[in-house]
Amino acid sequence: MFMKRFIIFFICFVFIVGVSKPYVNYVLIEKIAKKYGFFAKNRFLYQQKMLDNLKKENIMKKLNEINLFYNQAKYMSDMALYHKTDYWATPYQFLAKDAGDCEDYAIAKYFALKYLNVDPKKLYFVYVRVKKTNIPHMVLAYFDKKNRPPLILDNISNKIMPADKRTDLIPVYMFNPVVLQNASANKNNGVYRKWDNLIKRIKKGVI
């Protein structure tokens, strides 16, 4: 009897340890379903399935699939969605609403790639201007090697290209969240305050 219980316990333990922590826990997904409906819940379930399938893939596969997945969301301004001129949505809000602005796409991609064990020190948020319109824009950049141009993940393009091939963009400013959070001198910086506020809302599970 003791041996039978031990075997059952051991199997359960192996199963629990072997299952990785989900990107979004089920309790939060149920809250999202109540607020946003059945289709929103399905997007989160599909997201988890996609992330699970990507875990053992190479870096280019991860970058491409993440870029394509989140680019399916509809572009909408912060004013239209949140009645604010500048708001950084949590990844939960972005996918639940299935809409956001350029910063929201970049934020969602960053946290998904981080979940896939992509080194966050290689991921940079880059403020740019689109040449034809001079409109401010944000993209996510992946720096593979120091002597190579970063790869650009952009909501206005499903194709990932090196920065030197994106002649339509003019870089203005970039930041890395790891560097930003570790530098105490940045705490009075506007970008730091925005990022800090975003992290707090993510931890609270703001949807």
Q: Enter the tokens of residue 120.
A: 């966050």
Closest CA to 202 of 25, 63, 51: 25
Give pLDDT < 70 ranges for the chain: 1-19, 183-188
Expressed as residue numbers, the domain containing 63 is 59-204
Count of domains for the chain: 1
| Per-residue pLDDT, 19 | 55
> Model-level pTM greater than 0.85?
yes
Residue 25 falls within a domain, yes or no?
no
Residue 199 falls within a domain, yes or no?
yes
Residue 19 falls within a domain, yes or no?
no
Residue 2 falls within a domain, yes or no?
no
| Per-residue pLDDT, 182 | 79
Residue 99 belongs to domain with CATH number: 3.10.620.30
Q: Can you count the helices (H) and strands (E) in the chain?
A: 9, 7
Residue 73 falls within a domain, yes or no?
yes
| Per-residue pLDDT, 14 | 37
Query: Is-contact 81 99, C-beta < 8 A?
Result: yes
Element (H, E) at 61: helix 59-70
Residue 81 falls within a domain, yes or no?
yes
Residue 14 falls within a domain, yes or no?
no
| Per-residue pLDDT, 17 | 40
| Per-residue pLDDT, 124 | 98
**Measured between alpha carbons, how far is 111 from 125 in angstroms, rounded to an integer?**
12
| Per-residue pLDDT, 185 | 59
Residue 179 falls within a domain, yes or no?
yes
Q: Which residues, at least 6 apart from 136, have a Cβ–Cβ distance to it below 8 Å?
A: 127, 128, 129, 172
